[in-house]
Structure formats: C-alpha cells, structure tokens
Amino acid sequence: MIADIVVDLQYGDCGKGKVAHALCRDNDYTHVIRYNGGCNAGHTIYHEGEKFITHHIPCGVFFGIKSIIGPGCVVHVDTFLEEIEKLEEAGIPAKELVKVATNAHIITDFHRAEDGKDEEIGTTKRGNGPAYRDKYGRRGVRALDDPRLSNYLTNIYLELYENEEFDNIEILFEGAQGFGLDVDWGDYPYVTSSHCTAGSALLNGVPPSAIRNIWGVAKIYETYVGAKDFEGPYDEFDEIRELGQEFGSTTGRPRQVNWMDFDLLKMASRINGVNKIVINKMDILDVIGKWHAYHGPHILEFKSRDDMEFWIEAKLHSEVNENIQLFFSGDKEYI
C-alpha cells in the first residue's frame, strides 16, 4: 500500500481540488480518501471544462476511483446525499463509487443550528465545530448509526487491510481547509475544528511508512475567510478578489486578500514535510503586475514573476529541503 497526500499550506482555497483532480488523472490510484473537515469545505473542480463544486465528496469520482469520506471527517447527511444526486445528474457514477467510513461522525441539525449562531469566529455555519466537539466529548453520532447512510458505509480497516489487492492499493489523501486554519497550528481561535496537516491523513488508518509524496498547495497571494482582520492596505486587493474569483465556494463570502506570507509558507512546508509544492493563481498576479511577499518585518517587492519564483524556490531549497519540487501554475485544470 502506498499513499500520497494533498495538503493546503495557507488558509484553504488554494486549489487542492484542482491538484487532487490532476493527480487522479495522472496516477493509478485505487482510492481517494478525504481526511478531515466536513461540508465547510468547498472544492472547485474543472472536469473536462465543466465546473463542479464539491463539499464532502472526494474527487476520485470523476475518474471512476473509489472515493471515501474518512474517519477524520464529519458528515452532514442531507448535504452528502444532495451532492451524490448532483453528481449523478451530471453523469458521474457517485452512488457506486462514494463510501463513508463507519467511524466518521455525523453533523446533526442541532450542530448546524448551534453553529449558525456563531459571530466570533466567522465559521461557515455548517455545524463543524459542534460536531467535532461532540465527537471528542464522546457523545457524537457515527456514520454507522445513521440508517440514511446504510448503502454507503465502509469499514476502512477491512477495505484496506483485508483486501486481496492490498499490495496494489494506492491512495490519494485529499485534505480540506489549510495550515493557517489548523486547530493547533493556525491562529487560534480563528481556526477550524479539525487538523489540516499531512499528519491528519495518517489518522485515517494508514501508517507513516505508506506515504510516498506530500503535495503542498499554496497561492501566490493569500486569502482568508472569517471574522479576524486579515486584508492588508493595498489598492490591488479588490482587483485580485475579482479577477481571482475570491468568494467562498461554500458561503459566497468575499475572501480577504493579502500578499503571500513567506514565513507561513516555510513553516507549513516544514511541518507538513512536503516534497512537492504547487503555487497557484500565477495568472492573476500576471494581470496585476505586482509581485510582493511578506518576509519577517519586510515587504519584498520583486521586479518580475521570474524574480519571485526564483527567490521562493531558492529560499525553500536552502531553508526547508533542497529536494522540494516546485510548480508555479496559472491554469484552472492542470498543475
């Protein structure tokens, strides 16, 4: 069994959906497993030119790959079933391919209503925080106990380890949210309620020794959605927001924009142990024509895209790992 991980190095919305989709196209995965979060996530995927937004369902479905919502996730059953129907309508055989781990937890309507009252954190109001609280408080409801999911359940242990094809299993772990929103490493309390690091994938039933590649995903500028002040005082940010379509794919809220914080990228790269990094949305700054990044107390102003790419690559190689492979991307569907 081998596994790759896709993990976001900033605040979510960096293009994990795109990277996971591209990796599914180019590899022979037998399983795609979502490893954290719930329907707070919104993954925008362009499949054969058509736009899809998924909240729960991993992108393996677009390629006929078994797609599992792992035990690290929380599931809102109605949202999940609606998503299945939408994909089926678009000709994607989701009913056959999608499974929910028996030990994933359920987001109840009560959790939703409670999260709906949040004013401090700026949550997506999808019930995530209360569902994880009840999971850890040992009073949660698991997927196993919800009859509406009976056709979709899978026991991850049996699925992976009691499988005649064990030696040929190749898993893509698809993360949700991002490093800056991680419950331990993010800017607490302005975080989500799950672990958004590569380590979190391992909590879904796979040992560290199975891991092959860890794909970190970032953007050439940053965005954040939530209650804290994040946006810097630059005139370009309104234009970046419009050009980059930086509006929440789950809630429609405008995302706050800022320049890349290189120190965050470096920390996230170290803690996640990435060996590949995709930096997305290069096309947006190509239009804006400004190439800035925060580093320590400074704002760096690069002369050109090439200068910024060169600097980031050299810094990550000298300060994180000289073997990291970087991809700078400005395409919606391809890396």
Query: Active-site residues: which are they?
Result: 13, 43
Residue in the structure block whose two tokens are 């925008």? 44
SS (H, E, C) 127-151: CHHHHHHHHHCCCCCEHHHCHHHCC
How would DSSP label each residue in 53-83? EESSS-GGGGGT-EEEE-TTBEE-HHHHHHH
Q: How far is residue 12's CA from residue 218's CA, in Å, rounded to a whole number?
A: 8
Size of the site for ligand IMP (CB under 6 A): 21
Which 152-181 residues touch ligand IMP, going by CB under 6 A? 176-177, 181
Q: Which residues, other chains included, contact 145 with Cβ-Cβ below 8 Å and sequence gap of 6+?
A: 106
Interatomic CA distance for residues 28 and 49, integer angstroms:
22
- Is residue 122 a contact residue for ligand IMP (CB under 6 A)? yes
Q: Residue 123 interacts with ligand IMP (CB under 6 A)? A: yes
What residues from 216 to 235 belong to the interface with ligand IMP (CB under 6 A)? 225-226
Nearest approach in angstroms of CB 250 to ligand IMP is: 6
* Residue whose structure tokens are 């999260």: 115
Site string for Mg ion, 232-271 (x = CB under 5 A): -----------------x----------------------
Minimum distance, C-beta of residue 251 to ligand IMP, in the bound complex (Å): 7
Cα gap 149→145, rounded to integer Å = 8
Nearer Cβ to ligand IMP (152/230): 230
129 binds ligand IMP (CB under 6 A): yes
Query: 6-35: which residues touch ligand IMP (CB under 6 A)?
Result: 11-13
The footprint of ligand IMP (CB under 6 A) covers 11-13, 40-42, 121-124, 126, 128-129, 176-177, 181, 190, 192-193, 225-226
